[in-house]
Chain A
Amino acid sequence: MHKLKFRPIKLAVSLFVWIALWLFFSICNKYHLLYVEGTQMFLFTKEYLTETILHPGGVADFISRFLIQFYHYPLIGGAIIATFLIMLQYGVEVVSRRISGDKGLFSFSFIPLIFYCALLCNENYTLAGLIGMVFSVWAAWLYININSQVYKRISALVFIPVLWLLFGGGVVSMILLVVFYEIVTIDKHNIISLLFILISSLAIFLLAPMLTPLISGTNLILGARYFRLIDAPLIMFLTLWSSPLIVVLLIHLLPSIKNKVIQIISVILVLSGGAYIVNGSYMYLYEEVFGYLNLVQNRKWEEVIEKAKKRKPSSMLATNCINLALGETGQMGEKMFDFFQYGNSSLMQDYKDDILFSGEILFNLGLINEAQRYAYESMESIPDQQKGVIFVKRLAETNLVAGRDEVASKYLRILGKTLFYKQWSQDRLKLVGDSVLISEDPVYGHLRKIQPDSNFVFMSGSLPQMLEILLRQHPDNHLAYDYLMASCLLTKSLGIFAEKVRISSTMPRHYKEALVLLSCLNHQSPDMLPSCVKSSMIDDFENFITKYNAIGGNPAELQGQYGKTYWYYITYTKM
């Protein structure tokens, strides 16, 4: 058996890459990691263990899910991913060195790492696939380091099916590497070893359907959940699994590079190319919306608003979160048009378009049953059929608020079997069945108070009507009131707005702007406006009209001064 030789410079490069990967995943993909962690629920129970592990690739799934729970702290999550990626790179490097010697092409060993790193920017590619590939490449290294032909053949027979059973389809990487190794070192012994590898590989394909008759197609080949969606891209995985072989083959075929400068340049080139590829795969839009989702779920309303102020949000879902945060902090009527609004969908998407973010809005509006439905449907939509911590937490909350104590306790007890939500569940278990404690809770107490008293059928496409029902039952539901007003403003339904708006001395800016506009449209005297509307605002509006007429309606001219007014929205935003 050859010993692993660690070269300080190569180690230093790997360490540098590890740090870069760690920072990339833990900072740039922070909310991706939190989302992935939230959409699984690793339980310390024997059922969870058996359910996860008892299928081909189950060990990879189990290790992956065990480690993913630590994404709860993105700095640890980033370190985990970076470590496995470097293990993959180093595995490819040592296999290549063992087959072809040190040819100065160390940089090539980063190629599979770059490939997988780019894929991991998509939350549907799981850690299980990376784990499977890492074990596979290192198993190949172990295999080619066995000197005895007998042991080699035995290990070919054992390693391949066992690896497939434990880690899934990633074993293809090992098969390809060891076949290549046997071919390049061919003699009569190798032919027999090749035969053993072939038999062992075929055995998987023959035995697999018998072992797991309830899994078929690509999922059977993958074994483990390398990809969370139903239709795993098999071609992508085949390419991925072949990448260590391609690298080893390239290094074997290319001439050696002795010149250290060229070696360093090649490392810089490969890593720069890698950075370019990974940057291309980086999904900022997703990271942004996952960020907003996480902040909303944790009720960090000010942070939501700050985030939006720092960088203009680029999606409707982000706008939904901003509006919710504005509503929760009582700033909706004051600052809503400080941010770009898309129309009525800026408040909440239709059921068919989104249930994840809308669930948060419904929960805070006091539509507890609907929030529960959206959370349940979101959980049932998790493509790899896992349960998600974020959804189970919400289900516990909705049942707690609704007074369905037994179910709430059940969910809380289940959360008590997790590592990071134990305390959260224990804190809430104290509230179960204690109406006094619940009423004192700032969130649950308020939500219980504003729950609908009499039944009505919910229709997601009729939000204003739903809000009106909520307000009829609980006029003190301030969020519902602000949402109703905002809905009138966004849909430009000024008549309904005027009918529903509550006149008060603390009336927010946008409501006053709408009243001024309406008064103008109805050719009413400004004297008819409520006293809270200052003359300066009327002057401002007249100035807006004058400028609008003067510039022939060019929005850019008005944006600086009026871009954050309702007048600007109603004039320039198309429905």
Chain B
Amino acid sequence: MKKYLTYFLVILSMLSCRKGAEVCEKLERQPSIFPDYTEVTIPSTIAPLNFKSLDSCERIEAVFSGLSDNVFKVSGKQSINIPRKLWKRMSLKEDRMAVTVRTLRDGKWIEYAPFNIYISNDSIDKYVCYRRLSPGYELYSKMGIYQRTLSDFSEMTIIENTLMENTCVNCHSFAGCDPKNMQFHIRGKNGGTILKTGDAVEMINTKADVGLGCVYPYWHPSGLFIAYSVNNIHQIFHNTPDEILDVYDIESSIIAYNVKENKIIRYPLLKDSSKLNTFPVFSADGRKLYFCSAPVQDVSNHLKEIRYSLYSVDFNPENGAIGDTISKILEIPGYSVSFPRPSYDGKYIMFTRSSYGYFTIWHKDADLWLLDLQTMEARPADEINSDDTESYHSWSSNSKWVVFSSRRVDGLHTRLFISHVENNGKLSKPFMLPQKDPDYYDRLMQSYNIPEFIKEDIDIPVSKIKTPKKTHVTLQDM
């Protein structure tokens, strides 16, 4: 009886608020919402930014208003699920929308200070491709590589490890956001590297053929070479609340794969037993090969002294040869530089900075930094960093957007955030990859990993992955 009376009073107060005084209380602060979409910059084609109130409420409504007369209102019980049509009409027309949120609490409507969503004219690629898996240790259950359409909420499976059970799929990589040229590894029995060039799909097994297991890939802009690191990877487990685990190399070097000639090119210059060389990436013009390098250390006592710096070497796109001189590009004393990712317009390199090592996803202090390739000055990307881990990142094909992974939501499960890169190199407040149901992330026990923008749909039939043409590779020293 008491319950029904409460309902009756709530309805009554709603009606009184709606008809008479529209809002019973106005707050000066912006609403606490999840995901935090306040003051973010978005591409006009992004899917609706559905959100929920973090303040407890019986109902929520949001009024979206553009600069013109474009206004619409959405209401819900706990969350705002914006109709796609209304959202599209506004996001495609306006360059800013103001969102006024009201919540009904204890029978009273509370209105928060409005927040803005800025809409950039810079286009964004159609899709983002990522791996989703449990943020575990050594064992893994379900994992897969997926393609998410950014303009809606649809997600397509590229491959899941149900296809070849007990396998691990990782390191998907594309040539400059173009999925016509793509590769990913399948680890385990009958595994190898799946290589897609145009319509052809083949599997190479460099470990079996030439004794070199390829790990971290990066495509040359021409699509003719893939640089790989060859890493001897180990894992250890820490025992304090702030540190969980670490992954490190005891040796690593860099090679390249000539896609047309099926040749692994080995570079003696980049295989130095006193150095750990990893994360090779090509410059936007394809004439430089950047990589991270650190002196080899006795891991048992000096794990936290392994610090990588950024280096480069000339690269000849005609034959895959490298120059004779290695140049140090960036060293941050007391810190380690990892995951360098050059923008495709040649202006910047975004990288991860952490106090040591390279497996930064488990380092809470890991932040994203931006190296300006014209001034060669590096700065922390404070606009997008958080107190928790920021790690893997990649650029959109027009270099106007970056997508990166961060553990800021709960400290463990990595989520994807997208930020706009302004002409002056300033980054906008990032927005979390929107989902139809804002509670989706709360229920998802998996992490997002290796987000990569892609321009087109990945067209790779499962049958071709299941039974790929096996290509043997040969070895060439340069």
Contacts and interface: CB of A to CB of B under 8 A. Distances in A.
A47 interface: yes
Contacts of A47: 440, 443-444
Interface string A331-375: 000000000000000000000000000000000000111101100
B237 A381 contact: no
A236 interface: no
Nearest to A410: B410
A397 to B, nearest CB: 13
Contacts of B21: none
A215 B161 CA distance: 9
A452 interface: yes
B298 interface: no
A214 B241 contact: no
A87 to B, nearest CB: 30
B157 A214 contact: yes
A423 interface: no
A457 B237 contact: yes
B244 A369 contact: yes
A376 interface: yes
Contacts, number: 103
Interface in B404-447: 409-413, 440, 442-445
Nearest to A384: B141
B478 interface: no
Interface in B375-416: 409-413
B443 A45 contact: yes
B159 interface: yes
Contacts of A377: 136-139
Interface in A15-49: 43, 45, 47
Nearest to B142: A385
Nearest to A383: B141
Given A214-B157, A369-B240, A417 B137 contact: no
Contacts of A456: 238-239
A83 interface: no
Contacts of B137: 373, 376-377, 380
Contacts of B244: 369, 372-373
B412 A369 contact: no
B159 A214 contact: yes
B238 A410 contact: no
B160 interface: yes
A227 B141 CA distance: 16
Interface stretch (A122-130, A398-406, A494-502): A398-406
Given A376-B137, A451-B240, A457-B238, 6 more contacts: A47-B443, A376-B134, A377-B136, A379-B141, A407-B412, A417-B443
Interface of A: 43, 45, 47, 213-216, 219, 230, 367-370, 372-373, 376-377, 379-382, 385, 387, 402-404, 406-407, 409-410, 413-414, 417, 451-458
Shortest Cβ-Cβ A-B pairs, 9 listed? A406-B410, A402-B241, A213-B462, A380-B139, A385-B141, A385-B142, A407-B412, A230-B165, A452-B239
30 contacts: A45-B443, A47-B443, A47-B444, A214-B162, A215-B163, A230-B165, A369-B240, A369-B243, A370-B239, A373-B137, A373-B244, A373-B245, A376-B136, A376-B137, A380-B134, A380-B136, A381-B139, A381-B141, A382-B141, A385-B142, A402-B241, A406-B410, A407-B410, A407-B413, A410-B413, A413-B442, A451-B241, A452-B240, A456-B239, A457-B237
